[in-house]
Each structure stands twice: as structure tokens, then as C-alpha cells.
Amino acid sequence: MLKVEDWAEIRRLHRAEGVPIKEIARRMGVARNTVRAALASDRPPKYERPARGSVADEFEPQIRALLHDYPRMPAPVVAERIGWPYSLSPLKKKLAAIRPEYVGIDPADRTVYEPGQITQCDLWFPETRIPVTAGQERMLPVLVMTLGFSRFTTATMIPSRQAGDILAGMWLGISGIGRVTKTLVWDRESAIGGTGKVSVPAATFAGTLATQIRLAPPRDPEFKGMVERNNQFLETSFLPGRRFASPSDFNEQLTDWLMKANARTVRSITGRPVDLLATDYRSMTPLPPVGPAVGLSHRIRLGRDYYVRLDTVDYSVDPRVIGKLVDVTATADTVTAFCDGQIVARHTRSWAKAQTVTDPAHAATAAAMRAALAHDRQRRAAATRFHTDGHAVALRSLPDYDALFGVDFTHPSQKASTQ
């Protein structure tokens, strides 16, 4: 077969230098018919290997009969049904070629987003464990949000997958931009829409911001493919080679890295997210004057054990409000307790598990209350009279003695009024 470089040389000699076919054949050492064929062809010669049959060809009628009734039957089951005697590789290739005829093809359209239209949201779970306290490390979620038009991305590590923490992370990203898109896209994260319906906290958050939360269809990762790709980008480009001393250290490094990532050129939009953000911003909805309720919160009646539990961590509260209702709220950084509108506890939030956080002032107050109670008991015990044999003298009320001696000191006017 004539080589491509020989084909090119034949055409050059004949067309550029005018060398006759007979002379070209002599110089190149090929037949004149080969020279004529090269001159007649406008495309270089291409070697094509003759198609070889597959060992699966003879089983194709049986395979098609099975796929007709069960289009999604797995390859191992097909092999068992047809008595497949070879390795699964040829069978899988045959199934990949003919299965679409029975299952059908679901093409994925390329979606074009308008400015200010949507933000895709997702949780990324980096495998790197973050130190949260002495001797304890945790794998914590990272909330990632990507604007549809500009591809501008924000991300922050959050303490848990509870609705309050997720919404607090969303508010941090949204308030950092300064406006919100018309739609926030989520998969069926349990705290956002695990039942297929937007949860009450998420709906309240969206209503406060005058936006909506749209849940992705089940088993459809392409519905929010932009943020899924950014999760992979974080996994491969941000995480390798880094060490983190704490969640705050992780977020600081992530913020610095995102500044560079948002300044890179994205091929699909032929621009930089940081430059296109201004166009996105102009079409987004302004934020309300009062932000949404985010973070964790609950109400509890404070028991003798003057601690409240939040995400498996116990925090001390002023023991002077034992027995009263206490409202506990938590952000990613702070845990605060209120009683009758007054702050009765404030702690730095612990991201660890099964910890006890005590304010020394609360412990001192509790010790003083116990000492006062013990002193009062001692005082009462000292005021009690005892018989010579050691047992306490019983104290009786004066009316008991009046009844015992038959004495009635009731004034006559009082008797008349009672009759």
C-alpha cells in the first residue's frame, strides 16, 4: 500500500514540477498505475483493517429476544440465560451496541442560562479529616454554590448537614455576593427536600429572600451538572497536598483558592466568572433588609443539670434560670442561650462530637448556690430542739393546744358573723 508521504511526493512532482508519470514511477520505484491512482485521489491513502466478526454474533438473536422483553437486563444475567461460554467483555460490547434499540436514547441538551436565573447548590464531602479538638478529627461537609450564568462559585465548610447549618452556609454565600438568583437548585438532600417536597425551614428561607428552591428529579445528576463538576474540580485541584489545622483554616485556604479559581477562563462561557459576575448581579433579586432565620435553634426547660445539648455537644447555662424555658440558637461560630430576653449563656461553638463546654462563671455560680443551700439546711437543723434521748422535739401549732384544753378564744362578734 502506498504511504502517505509517497502519495504527497507523487502529487508534488506531477503538479508542481510537471514530471511525467513514467519518470515519477521510475524515481519512486512504483508502478505507473499506482502513480495514476495517487494523482486521481484527492485524499491520502488510508489503511482499513477488514472487519472481524465477534464471538457474540452467533448469540445475537438470543440476546435480542431477551432485550425485547427485558431491555435493562444486566450482562451477567444475559450470559446465564443464553449459556455464554466466554468472558463477559465481548458480550458487554455487543449489549452496548444493541441495547439502545430497546431501551431508547435520552439525549442531554446543553442548557443556556440567563443572567440572574439560577444557582446550583450541593454538599461536597472531602475525604480529608479536619482536626476539631484535641484527639478528634471529622469529615465535614462543604456547601458549594455555582451561579448558572457566570459560573461564579462560593464554598464554605459547615458543621453539620442539619437544615439550620446548611441554610446558614447558603446565607453566607448569598450575602457575600449581595443578591440572590431567582432559583436555587438542590438535589434531594434530606434537610432541604428529602421527601421530594421542599422542607419547611428551606421554604421559609426561600420565601424571605423572594426566591424559590427547585429540587432535582431523582437519580438525575446532570440536572445540576455545573456544581457537580466544581465538586470534582475542588477534589482534584484544591485538596491535594494541603493540610488543615481546623475548620476555620480550611475555610481560609478555600477562600484564597476560590479567588484564583473564579479568575480563570472557563471554556464553556469563554470568559472569567469574576468578570461575568457583574452581569449576573444586575439581573439578580436584591436582598431584604432583614436576613432570613438561619442556624440551629430550639427551646428547652433547663434542668438541675444546667447544660443544653446541641449537635451532641453539651453547653453550660447560668444555673440561676434552672426550671425556666431557655431558647438556644447556634451559628457556625457561636452558641447563645436566652431566658426572658436576657442572654444566659454564650459559647464558641464546638464542631467536635460528644464534648462538654463549661463557662467557669456558670460553674462558680452553681458552686455558690450549692453552698448557700447547704448553709440554709444547716441553719434550719441548728434551730431544731431535741429531747434528752436525742430525737427532735415535735412542734405543734397553737390551735392544737386550744383544742386539747377545750379553750375557745374566738370573739363573740366573729361567731355571730359565721352563723
pLDDT band at 163 (very low <50, low <70, confident <90, very high): very high
DSSP code for 386: B
Q: Which of 155-159, 191-195, 248-252 has the lowest mean pLDDT?
A: 191-195
pLDDT digits (tens, 9 = 90+) for 328-344: 999 999 999 999 999 99
Look at residue 52 in the predicted model and tell me its pLDDT: 74
pLDDT surpassing 90 at residue 404: no
Q: Please report the pLDDT score of residue 206 as a whole number.
A: 95
CA 407 – CA 232 distance, rounded (Å): 96
Contact 328, 299 (CB under 8 A): yes
pLDDT surpasses 70 at 25: yes
Q: Taking the CB of residue 313, how many other CB atoms lie within 10 A of it?
A: 22
The pLDDT value given to residue 301: 95
| CA–CA separation, 271 and 151 (whole Å) | 10
Q: pTM here?
A: 0.69
Q: Label residue 15 by pLDDT band (50, 70, 90).
A: confident
Task: Kindly state the helix (H) or strand (E) to which residue 88 belongs, with its residue range.
Answer: helix 88-98
Distance CA 60, CA 95 (A): 9
Cα 97 to Cα 105: distance, rounded to the nearest angstrom: 12
Q: Residue 326 corresponds to which amino acid?
A: V
- C-alpha pair distances (Å), 409 with each of 204, 338, 399, 415: 71, 54, 10, 11
Q: Give the residue with greater pLDDT, 274 vs 16.
A: 274
Confidence check: pLDDT of 5 > 90:
no
CB–CB of 158/121 below 8 Å? no
Q: What is the DSSP string of 233-266?
A: HIIIIISTT---SSHHHHHHHHHHHHHHHTTSPB
Mean pLDDT (the chain) is 89
Identify the DSSP state of 186: E
